[in-house]
Structure 1
Amino acid sequence: MTRQPPDTDGPSRSLPAVGRHVLTADGGLRDLRAADHLLRTLAAELALRDDVFGCTHLVRGDRPRVAVSLALGSAAEADGVRTRLAAEGYDLADGTPDAVGRAVLFPGADRLRGTLTVGQVLEVSAVERVTVLGASGQPVPTQLLLTRDHVRPQWEDGVLTLTAMPAVGGVLVPFEVPEPTPCCADH
């Protein structure tokens, strides 16, 4: 299901860099869990606003790792994050390393707990589309989604999209599981 864009002249919620200060930090993190933790820690310790987007980005190459990006609403927030991460030895750059970011922090993320309908997910958060693996269409707004308190949508073509999959009992669950088996994490 895709939400219709708002009828405003303001920036689209699907473009987190518009009107924002975007900063990427690469500290050589090796897994998503550590990157998620870093983003949540920064949000809490620096009291970042609820409209911040914080994403993870897989950096491939001879040293595979996970970088994080933050789309912040003000220069003051960006300066605070930049100062904190520079002091900890992170490599910093403006902008994002790619357009695919996996969102950890986004408006309404804290409301995506328990079981919600697809319509509620779209209504209370910045998630703009829900897709289902193996399905040709999109789920109806009344379809139940068991969040497992772990919702990680990704930017796809400028739209924050949550990929879900069918689960027992006719409900959907987010494709990404909260505690992944690390069997292939280092390959």
Structure 2
Amino acid sequence: MTPPSAPYTIGIDTGAATLREADHLLQALAAGLSLPGGIFGCTHLVRDGHPRVTLSLAAGAAGAETALRTARDRLAAQGYEVRDGAPDEAGRAVLYPGAGALTGTLTLAEVLTRSAIEQVTVVGTPDEPLPSTLLVTREHVRPQWQSGRLVLAAMPAAGGTLVPFEDPDPTPCCADH
């Protein structure tokens, strides 16, 4: 999904096999393309005959559309499959306004004012967390687009804090076999 106000979005199929690989590639591509602020970069799980993780870049700010059109041409020249539009409406945001400011431990009010995240939910509870609730970011905050809003899923942690639901260092399935 792209920000509702995004005038232009491109989808990039890099053949990435994992979210971690796609995250690193998305960050490297954005740095190499010198993209301006206001860009949203998301990952998308593709479950067709060839499961993989694709990317999208969306212009969320005035002037960013031109940068994305240039990025589209440069990515295509590098051999990536690039097309207009996002692969789906459930993008997992890696790059978004304010993402770099979400480090350490912050109140949910700070998360919402410092970034493009619009809501924080707690997995397993229907209740909205208090704005004063602390979030231990683990320097890995990956909200998802839900009904046109950027929403961070969090889960309870030690001392009444929350952590983002997605673990920055997940244990691979069957790691001890």
TM-score of the superposed pair, with normalisation by structure 2? 0.91
Q: Measure, in 1, the Cα distance between the counterparts of 2:6 and 2:166.
A: 30
- 1:21-100 equivalent positions in 2, closer than 5 A: 21-72=8-59, 73=61, 74-100=64-90
Q: 1:128 is matched with which residue?
A: 118
Aligned partner of 2:149 in structure 1 is 159
Q: Distance in 1 between matches of 2:2 and 2:87?
A: 15
Gaps of 5+ in 1: 1-13
Cα separation, 2, equivalents of 1:75 and 1:124: 23
- 2-structure distance, mates of 1:17, 1:86: 25
Q: How many residue pairs align between the two structures?
A: 172
Name the counterpart of 1:3.
none
1:42 and 1:81 in contact (8 A); partners too: no
Per-residue displacement from partner, 1:62-101 (whole Å, max 9, x unpaired)?
Answer: 1000000000243421232112221222111101111100
| Misfit runs of 4+, over 3 Å | none
Judged with a 3 Å threshold, the aligned counterparts in structure 2 of structure 1 residues 15 and 54 are, in CA distance, closer, same or farther, namely closer
RMSD: 1.7
